[in-house]
Structure 1
């Protein structure tokens, strides 16, 4: 949901610093005594729902020790250590300190956290779940002594005190309250999507202050899709073409558990969401999330008529690929996986015909995944056998623009063409430092 993925961090699902230095005379943390193991286990499950590992664990790093770089419009920040180490992690945090950081974005020493940490969503987490999360991070996570790294944001933009005013303007305090007239499953799904799941952090467009355009279904922008760090996080409303309007409840539950279904496959940041979070949801929570998302009315979209599949014109083009530059590239590099009919071999190989990501107005995700590929989906410990490879070293900007324009026009997709300049821009931003 998050997808997708991997603004303020890919993922597409973003989380930033709790911090850090335990001052002299700090209160004795909870790990001084024996933990309630049932509470720790519950907290472990909730930490998976919150996808904490995806942001707070760097590649090849130790769990929750931080160090993952994230790009923001102001510069690069580095996710912090949230292990119970007393010197470099959150070992000196009391439960009240932890709750304040989680739900209000204020660290133990009083400094404000960047809203890359999705505390506007976590503000909705109830007291019982905060207690369980605290028990897990204090008793279920191994302490790691790893100093936090300062951000690359330059003065004066790196000053934290203006965030107090950001919170005054945009932070809505108070845990989620059940909506009257909605059943238990709907309210549970709303609580997970809006709170721990923090789906809006990636899938809701941002305003001029980088605030989410809406924090729940009462706002029309909520989960209508958003550009984030070179990826376009998909529309999760009931919109027919670019959203979940054509997805059944079973389609959505399958995607949450496996990252792929007959309509689409996860890529970008959404891959880590599937790997670290949604596949671990129990059946009741998967059903609740699906029920809530499927209840959202259609918003946004590409302005085109409702999609219907039509392979004929595309099949003719592929029969004579020399007449179309995009068709030539497709026949050489794409057709063996995605097929002449554009339907791929779902769920292992994604369809392109009618795929919501193909139909989206913003082609950033298609360009990014074509240039850079995507990481492995790992379901129950088994990597996907056919991850999307990157073609940055094989195809130039015009070839990628040509093939994506062909795909976006093909099989009655009817989406706008892609320009070589768009590809060049994303190539530069995503390939830097590789």
Structure 2
């Protein structure tokens, strides 16, 4: 009987200890997230002229696709939920039109630039998920074209939750830096912008075009471990990896059809080849030039 009481006593101690540790951990996560979400970033927005001509809008439409904006905000720009469940929370890619649930009537060009260059709200607080750490590297002329295209789209009604809420899973991953979902933290807010980037078959232009590829293939483009449980290994796409073994024609075919030279069909949910098939011939050749320059000239054109 004494032994049973002793075991029960120690089990009680263990339970209380686990409970206290859990509460302390939750307290840390809550404090960490609140501090980071409410930090205000000083953002000096230099004016950029937003064009209205048809050529610029067409250019913006192309950029909207190849830089992945369509993947989240949709073809009609009315947005969708990126997460909407208890454990993850509620986070939406917002409706970018002026329809119901869309942008306010007084949403200005400066507001657009604040999002794309600094990843922050009007109040200067970080957005969630929006990959502004990639769009901040785009030239002003390209950003202006994207904004021009978005502003030209007709209103769409789609009322989504505007204020994101993070569930315990996302809070934990963010608190311990397992997911980079707060873009303002990963932006050089004093970065001197590029006014214009020349479109040509060069490693420099290829580096410019692959800013959003690094999110999966890493900054050195040599890939690595899976990005999430159950996901495949991320391949090396430098000269020492698969790209280095493909001819130009094979490279172009793979990025336009999703079929590798050995006949493998790439899963578009793992590698977004429907996006890369929209690249022009010059853009694809420039990307290949850049990837083949790695790792020897890894710093070419990177900012």
TM-score interval, normalised by the smaller of the two chains: 0.5 to 0.7
Q: d(CA) in 2 for partners of 1:71 and 1:268?
A: 23
CA contact (8 A) 1:225 1:236 kept: no
3-state DSSP of counterpart to 2:78: coil
> Residue in 1 aligned with 2:216?
202
SS at match of 1:262: coil
Q: More helix by proportion, 1 or 2?
A: 2
Equivalent residues of 2:78, 2:94 under 8 A apart: yes
2:177 pairs with 1:143: no
8 Å Cα contact 1:223-1:237 kept in structure 2: yes
Distance across 2 between alignment mates of 1:52 and 1:95: 18
**Counterpart Cα distance in 2 of 1:97 and 1:279:** 31
- In structure 2, do the counterparts of structure 1 residues 138 and 167 end up closer, same or farther at CA, with 3 Å as the change threshold? closer
Indicate whether 1:234 and 2:247 are aligned.
Answer: no
Instruction: Describe the shift of the 1:250–1:103 C-alpha distance in structure 2 as closer, same or farther (beyond 3 A).
Output: same
Q: Give yes or no for contact 2:97–2:156 (8 Å, CA) kept in 1.
A: yes
Structure 2: unaligned runs, 5 residues or longer: 1-48, 297-303
Within a 5 Å distance, the mapping from 1:173-212 to structure 2 comes to 173-175=191-193, 185-194=202-211, 198-204=212-218
Q: Does 1:47 align with 2:64?
A: yes
Please give the residue correspondences for 1:317-328 in structure 2 after superposition, counting only pairs within 5 Å.
none
Q: Deviations over 1:310-361 (max 9, x none)?
A: xxxxxxxxxxxxxxxxxxxxxxxxxxxxxxxxxxxxxxxxxxxxxxxxxxxx
Deviations 1:94-146 (CA, angstroms, capped at 9, x unpaired): 222111101211123433112x222111111111111111100000x232121
Aligned to 1:84, the other structure's residue is in SS state coil
Please give the root-mean-square deviation of Cα atoms over the aligned residues, in Å. 3.6
4+ residue stretches of structure 1 with deviation over 6 A? none
Map of 1:289 onto structure 2: 287
Q: Aligned residue for 1:258?
A: 257
Q: Does the CA contact (< 8 Å) of 2:250 and 2:261 recur in 1?
A: yes
Q: 1:145 to 1:80 in 2, by over 3 A?
A: same
TM-score by length of 2: 0.64
**Residue among 118, 134, 150 paired with 1:121:** 134
SS at match of 2:59: helix
The within-5 A match list for 1:71-110 is 75-85=88-98, 88-90=101-103, 92-110=106-124
Matched residue SS, 2:288 = helix
Change in Cα spacing, 1:83 to 1:167, as seen in structure 2 (3 Å) is closer
TM alignment of 1:319-358, pairs within 5 A: none
Q: Provide the C-alpha distance between the structure 2 equivalents of 1:50 and 1:293, rounded to a whole number of angstroms.
A: 18
- SS at 1:252 equivalent: helix
Contact 1:46 1:129 in 2 (8 A): yes
Structure 1 residues 288 and 269 mapped into 2: Cα distance closer, same or farther (>3 Å)? same
TM-score between both structures, scaled by the size of structure 1: 0.46
Q: Gaps spanning 5+ residues in structure 1: where?
A: 1-29, 205-213, 215-219, 299-434
- Per-residue deviation, 1:253: 1.5
1:170 is the counterpart of 2:169:
no
Distance 1:176 1:126 in 2: 5
Provide closer, same or farther for how the CA distance between residues 176 and 227 of structure 1 changes in structure 2, counting only shifts above 3 A.
farther
